Amino acid sequence: MSCKINSLNPPIPCRFYTKKPKITKIKTIILCSSDEQQKTITTSTAIETPTTEAYSVSFKTKRACKLGISWYPDFEYDAEGGMGTGPGAKVTENQANNNDLLVSFDLETLYIPPLTSSTTKFLGLPLPPLLKIDIVPQALQGSVNQESGKVDLEFKAKFLFSIGSLYKAPPLLVKTVLTTEESKGTVKSGRGKRLDEAGNCTLVGVATVDPIDDFLLNSFLSLPTECIAILNAEISIASSSS
């Protein structure tokens, strides 16, 4: 199964430039009169390639988040304790977007709390005790602009629905762009908040979720449908050289 991204501002792919400037040798041949030998002069020319500044980036999710799917009212979600770290790189080249920090979070450090009776409420009531929705991240990468506060992070994760040992559904694959700007689908939409001086922000992402090989969950969620994530987060950036 698959799902579609609903975003007007996809993130910039994370490509870190680490190569040193190339030295290119150029041969120049000078033709002289017949009584002189042909001369060859070899010169070296340095061709500059972009250099990078390295950073360490940390990501934390906070309370008062929301998750919504289909026609159901949004779930109130306490994501306190979610975290992740990863390398960041700022490319120092003459481009209009050279204030963007490209970041890719390490999946081994990336954790997002599951939806359970202790973290999630629906219509003001906790989820039933046995119901659990695990969130298994597959990717979190994109760009952070410290100057403007704009953040665009491509997010991909598996959502695993289970009811104790009685029922386990195939994973729902959700792929979206978590942004501080507007994320808009056909039915659902939301707008985030840009980074403030303390690194706090609100990330919003809308995705279209396709059906899976499970009649019960397809019917319960009315798949295909749209889902939305509204996450309060904190992003901290430190120079690796400091």
193 secondary structure, DSSP code: B
Q: Is 70 exceeded by the pLDDT of residue 44? A: no
- 201-241 tens-digit pLDDT: 999 999 999 999 999 999 999 999 999 999 999 999 998 76
Lowest mean pLDDT among 82-91, 166-175, 203-212, 233-242: 233-242
- 195-209 tens-digit pLDDT: 999 999 999 999 999
Q: Is 175 a domain residue? A: yes
Q: Is 37 a domain residue? A: no
Q: Is 125 a domain residue? A: yes
Q: Is 186 a domain residue? A: yes
pTM for this model (two decimals): 0.79
Q: Is 63 a domain residue? A: yes
CB proximity list for 225: less than 8 A, separation 6 or greater: 69, 70, 71, 187, 208, 209
47: amino acid identity, one letter: I
Query: Alpha carbon 55 to chain centroid distance?
Result: 16
Q: How far apart are CA 68 and CA 188, in angstroms?
A: 9
Lowest mean pLDDT among 87-91, 164-168, 192-196: 87-91
Q: Is 213 a domain residue? A: yes
Count the domains in the chain.
Answer: 1
- 116-146 tens-digit pLDDT: 999 999 999 999 999 999 999 999 999 999 9
Listed residue (46, 47, 53, 48) closest to 16, CA to CA:
53
Q: Is 41 a domain residue? A: no
Q: What is the residue range of 230's domain? A: 3-15+52-239
- 2-11 tens-digit pLDDT: 455 454 444 4
Omega of the bond prior to 113 within 30 degrees of 0, cis?
Answer: no
Residue with tokens 């202790």: 118
Q: Is 60 exceeded by the pLDDT of residue 33? A: no
Q: Is 74 a domain residue? A: yes
Torsion sign over Cα 43, 44, 46, 47: positive
